Amino acid sequence: MRVSMNENQENYSYNKRDIYLCIQEMIEIHVLEPSLKKLAHEAIMYKQKEFLFSRLTYSHYLIWEEPKEVKNMIKVMASVEVFVLLCDILDDLQDMDSFDVPWMKVESKFALNLTLLFHTLYKKLILETTFSPQKKIYLMEIFDKHELRSLSGQHADLKQEIVGEDEYVDIMQNKSGSFVALACLLGSSNASYKEQECIEQYAYFIGCSAQIENDLLGIKERYNFKDIVAKSYSLPILYLLHYKKEEFSLLFEYYHADTIGETELIPYLMKNKMKIEESGAIAYSRSMQLIYTQKAIALIDDLYEEEADKESIKKVFLKRI
């Protein structure tokens, strides 16, 4: 059922604090062990400033869902942010490249327990809505599908065996695209199957665009060239390794041989930071990001008739790139 966006906006405006309080209440009620409860509170408190995926859920909810379901909407948005957080924690534990976050300041065994807690909590949030049993099952099926896709993408990324851009795009769509698709589809569960196919497709394009933004941060000096140091593959790095490997022979050697260590790499990157910026890797990545953004916009423009509906979705991701 399609609902007037203006009618929905009169009932509720997006508020990160509502989502934060909803999650904190769930932690307070359902987590019994004091130190685990404290760690969970700290993790959510740290993460609340980054709540973004729930904004996509909200913008779709305004278009597709009933305006009277505000409490349910908050629980669904909270479930999205809890799920994204647990994936972030797992990602940090696997990459070991973020040490200023609460879950990396404790032993890994406790951080793993935190992910198990959040894995239960996001499901609990869905189960505690007043939706029909059928709709709860459907929402959980959306979670299951995209959790499996994101897991496949993450595993392929961790293998560090990417050979080309096409393979990397597949990983981007499975990993980053799955999070965006999850957020969008949870807010548009009343859409038809054909409409949801379109929503899922533009969500994957949005995810790819956002991932390229992260890729560009990962090769910058102020982020300590973290992706290069970790021998991760990203769009600009693939460009350097494939099209500029003679100009960046030491970088190519670092990735493909054991003869170069981090102590030699960092000074080399610092010395060549301008060369990296002028290599074409950044310009190429930006152009690919624009292509994915335009593909998403085209699908959004095609699906929605109301200009307000289009803009409510676009503004969430356009301001992030």
pLDDT at 60 over 90: yes
Q: 175-321: which CATH topology?
A: Farnesyl Diphosphate Synthase (1.10.600)
pLDDT tens digit sequence for 138-153: 999 999 999 999 999 8
Would you say the pTM of this structure is higher than 0.85? yes
Q: How far apart are CA 18 and CA 157, in angstroms?
A: 34
Long-range (24+ apart) CB contacts under 8 A made by 313-321 are 313/56, 313/59, 313/60, 316/52, 316/55, 316/56, 316/59, 317/56, 317/180, 317/206, 317/209, 317/210, 317/293, 318/293, 320/52, 320/210, 320/213, 321/209, 321/210, 321/213, 321/289, 321/293
pLDDT tens digit sequence for 152-201: 988 988 887 777 888 888 998 898 999 999 999 999 999 999 999 999 99
Structural domain boundaries in the chain: 1-131, 175-321
Percent of the chain with pLDDT over 70: 95
pLDDT at 270 over 80: yes
pLDDT tens digit sequence for 278-289: 999 999 999 999
pLDDT tens digit sequence for 67-115: 678 999 999 999 999 999 999 999 889 877 777 889 999 999 999 999 9
